[in-house]
A = this chain, B = another copy of it.
Amino acid sequence: MAWQRLKVNQKVLKNKIINIFKKHKLSSEHALVCANAIINAELVGAPTHGLSRLKMYCDRINKKVINPQPKLKIKKISQSISQIDADNSIGFVAADIGIKQAIKNAKKTGIGIVGIKNSGHYGLSGYYAEQAVKKNLLVFCFTNAPPAIAPHGAKKSLFGTNPICFGTPTSSKVPFILDTSVSVINRGKIRVAERTGKKIPEGVALDKFGKPTTNAKKALAGVQLPISGFRGSGLAWMVDILSGVFTGGNHGGKVKDPFDDFSGPQNIGHLFLVMKSNLFVSNYTKRIKENIIRVKRLPKIKGIKEILYPGQSKQRRYKNNLKKEIKITSNIADDLKKLDA
């Protein structure tokens, strides 16, 4: 039974991931950074960005399109602005260094910007946004991704699902983290539907002939639709420009699919933009608290118990999962066994 669910102790799992990355020539430090990001994706309920990608990362290292021992170069452009050449590292490593640099710059000058090139898939944007928010900062994270969405008017995909990610501290421990792709649904979810043989909803994708489809496999071979037609298409284009054209990364459909294309590194670009929350007001925490209260107090649609802000349900899943064993499929258990051999 390929889709049986197994339960694995978190610590055991984390050590296994670290071990696997070390076997694939990553330093202990980088292996830990990657393991933390992968475990976090599982805990927040985003398995599409977690263990299901582990084999892909290792395959790319084996085929020399990810550099397991990158020499990242950080160039200081000003006190506020830094550029990172990630030397084809795993995205996790570049993004971890990048967000820390952006936080440092923002702490010093009020605003920090970091542009990263020659990186790879970094997992969840919200994971990095949260690091900035925990330091009481506002943050934007932009990254591009392999072609998945057709620009408005085109029948071939070119933009990635290109998330827009924005975070702000709240007055509570639960940060406001909006981390939304501009496709109607997440590509990872289509991938999971394909692996589990499930159908996808109508209106989210076209097959390769430009016809609507609910077949996940056909959708992956075809195009995903952006939210709200030209609006979503424009937002995806904006993210491609900010994270690719602007930073020096690949762009305009040139980011390779990490699962299917081993002909070279991805050269994904990321852009982190971080600001002190009290740049213009001294009582930001009080203001954001008031803002959230006003929204939560609105009369609700039938069936809705509570109006949640972005990031709240993710945080609940995280808290709920934190002390549990992690459920993995037997496919992934097989991957882990083989990779750790």
Q: Which A residues contact B (CB, under 8 angstroms)?
A: 77-78, 80-81, 83, 109-111, 113, 115, 117, 138, 150-156, 158, 164, 166, 168, 176, 178, 180, 182, 184, 210, 227-228, 230-232, 234-235, 237-238, 240-242, 244-248, 251-254, 273, 275, 277, 279-281, 284, 287-288, 290-291, 294-295, 298-302, 304, 306-310
Residues of B within 8 Å of A231, CB to CB, are 180, 182, 227
B308 touches A238 (CB 8 A): no
B176 touches A307 (CB 8 A): no
CB distance from A70 to the nearest CB of B (A): 18
B227 touches A232 (CB 8 A): yes
Residues of B within 8 Å of A290, CB to CB, are 252
CB distance from A286 to the nearest CB of B (A): 10
Residues of B within 8 Å of A164, CB to CB, are 235
Bound CA–CA A254/B287 (angstroms): 12
Residues of B within 8 Å of A294, CB to CB, are 158, 252-254
Pick from A230, A238, A299 the residue with the most CB of B within 10 Å: A238
Which residue of chain B has the shortest Cβ distance to A85 in the bound complex? B280
Which residue of chain B has the shortest Cβ distance to A159 in the bound complex? B295
Bound CA–CA A334/B254 (angstroms): 55
Residues of B within 8 Å of A228, CB to CB, are 184, 227-228, 232
A153 touches B287 (CB 8 A): no
Bound CA–CA A142/B238 (angstroms): 15
Bound CA–CA A228/B186 (angstroms): 13
CB distance from A181 to the nearest CB of B (A): 8
The 7 tightest CB contacts between A and B, nearest first, are: A252-B294, A227-B228, A154-B298, A115-B280, A252-B291, A153-B304, A178-B234
A153 touches B280 (CB 8 A): no
A288 touches B227 (CB 8 A): no
Task: Knowing A228-B232, A246-B138 are in contact, say whether A115-B279 is a contact too (CB < 8 A).
Answer: yes
B237 touches A295 (CB 8 A): yes
Which residue of chain B has the shortest Cβ distance to A304 in the bound complex? B153
Bound CA–CA A47/B284 (angstroms): 36
Residues of B within 8 Å of A153, CB to CB, are 300-301, 304, 306-308
A-B contact pairs, 14 of them (CB 8 A): A115-B279, A151-B298, A151-B307, A153-B307, A154-B295, A154-B304, A176-B237, A180-B234, A210-B302, A244-B291, A245-B291, A246-B277, A248-B281, A252-B295
B158 touches A280 (CB 8 A): no
Bound CA–CA A245/B291 (angstroms): 7
A110 touches B246 (CB 8 A): no
List 18 other contacts, CB 8 Å, given A115-B280, A150-B298, A154-B304.
A80-B109, A80-B110, A152-B307, A153-B307, A153-B308, A154-B300, A155-B299, A155-B300, A178-B234, A228-B228, A237-B309, A245-B281, A245-B287, A245-B291, A246-B281, A248-B280, A251-B291, A252-B294
Which residue of chain B has the shortest Cβ distance to A226 in the bound complex? B228
B235 touches A180 (CB 8 A): yes
Task: Knowing A80-B80, A287-B245, A295-B151 are in contact, say whether A310-B111 is a contact too (CB < 8 A).
Answer: no
Bound CA–CA A275/B60 (angstroms): 35
Q: Select one of B138, B245, B291, B302 contacting A288, CB under 8 A.
A: B245
Bound CA–CA A247/B287 (angstroms): 10
